Amino acid sequence: MKNLLDKKILYIICGGISAYKSLETIRIFKKNGAQIKTILTNSAKEFITPLSVASLSQGKVYTDLFNVENETEMDHIALSRWADVILIAPATANTISKLAQGTTDDLASTVLLASNKEIYLAPAMNVRMWEHQSTKQNLQKLINYGYKLIGPEIGEMACGEYGEGKMSEPDKISNEINNYFLNLKKNKKLKALVTAGPTNEYIDPVRFITNKSSGKQGYEIAKSLSKKGFDTTLISGPTNLKIDDDIKLIEVETADEMLLETQKNLPTNVAVFSAAVADFKINKKFKNKIKKHESLNLNLEKNVDILNYISNHNSMRPELVIGFAAETNNVERNAEKKLNNKNCDWIIANDVSNKKIGFSSDFNEVTIYYKDKNKEKLSYKKKSEISDEIVDRIINQLN
């Protein structure tokens, strides 16, 4: 398990008889060079002691949300940012329910809600609890949020019953985390380019033509690609958004600038063109501010269609080219037409006349139209969650 070397694992242990397995899991992680910090829920301390965990992890064990000694450290933020990955094992029905509802009444649940890292759950509970409809609904919520599951297994339980709900063995859990880092390493060989935001085409020094776009979906896609290990470049028109330090950000204003920077940053394995590039620019920009007139005639000329240009130039075309279509009507027909006319591999379309998923919203609902005529709807959720789903599909396509 060489991929665990020097990796930072935040291990959250919940209250269940399977908690004893966490000691062996920690031992395997440490044997393979991982750094471990642990959080024990109050009920977990009924099954294993902080001292036994600290002895194996050789690190601090956190238990309380409000601790005078650590108050200035903001543990729920600091722990989340420290970790490369977060593991919850055992993940009890109670913990799964709390996370699905967004409850934050202890350190573990607060860390998880504040996290921007990959989170793995290793469920452990009685077979009837596992099969209960509420558990299934809660788990589906967490999967939609981007949580990953390890197990559970079918077998004999501590209560004497037999069935699904048994926590996976330490070897399987540690292998899953090792494979996560292995896939990250593979993805680090891959390059991604994302365009986002609007472009401004100036009429005079104070006026311009633009397309409406907040850039939020494009920024979230760049974040998801980077989180999954891609060497990511984001070319952005004017927005008020911030981006992670490990993403190469290139700020532009006009369509010509965006095209130039796109060309300079190719080739890549995947390019996602989510920017709302202005279709037209002024034929001749006025050097001075235009004074008010009763009428004003402007001569416009077409900007280069960046998506179309890149898709049809074999010398620079990425392996996977993805375009966006923000539509107000006939979404399917317009998306399929754009897919065919621009020779891209996917078109991701949404209906921006729906205010719930409009330009400035933090939520979206999209349909991916594939070159092979298939389509797939990603239902209404946060743009960050939509991005994770899109990137999972990009990885599957490239692999």
Question: How far is residue 30's CA from residue 14's CA, in Å, rounded to a whole number?
Answer: 20
DSSP one-letter code for 122: E
Q: Give 359-370 pLDDT, tens digit per residue.
A: 788 999 999 999
Question: How far is residue 349's CA from residue 339's CA, in Å, rounded to a whole number?
Answer: 10
Catalytic residue, candidates 5, 158, 159, 260? 159
Question: How far is residue 259's CA from residue 195's CA, in Å, rounded to a whole number?
Answer: 10
User: Which structural domains are found in the chain, ordered by start?
Assistant: 2-186 (3.40.50.1950), 188-398 (3.40.50.10300)
Query: Which pTM was predicted?
Result: 0.77
Query: Which amino acid, residue 1?
Result: M
Least Cα distance to 90 among 121, 127, 135 occurs for 121
State the residue for tokens 């294993």: 48
The lowest-confidence range among 67-81, 134-148, 155-169, 272-286 is 67-81
Q: Give 231-285 pLDDT, tens digit per residue.
A: 999 999 999 999 988 899 999 999 999 999 999 999 999 999 999 999 999 988 8
| Mean pLDDT, rounded, for 97-104 | 91
pLDDT of residue 116: 82
pLDDT of residue 76: 73
Question: How far is residue 165's CA from residue 131's CA, in Å, rounded to a whole number?
Answer: 8
Residue by residue, DSSP assigns 342-386 as TT-SEEEEEETTSGGGSTT-SEEEEEEEETTS-EEEEEEEEHHHH
Count of helices and strands (H, E) across the chain: 13, 20
Using DSSP, state whether 315 is helix, strand or coil: coil
Highest mean pLDDT among 53-67, 73-87, 222-236, 345-359: 222-236
Q: Check if 159 is active-site.
A: yes
What are the backbone angles phi and psi of residue 9, rounded to the nearest 5°?
Answer: -115, 120
Write the CA distances from 337 to 234, 279, 301, 319, 330, integer angstroms.
Answer: 27, 17, 23, 21, 11
Beta strands 85-91 and 118-123: pairing type? parallel
Query: Which amino acid, residue 372?
Result: D
Report the mean per-residue pLDDT for the chain: 90
Q: Which has the higher per-residue pLDDT, 64 or 185?
A: 185
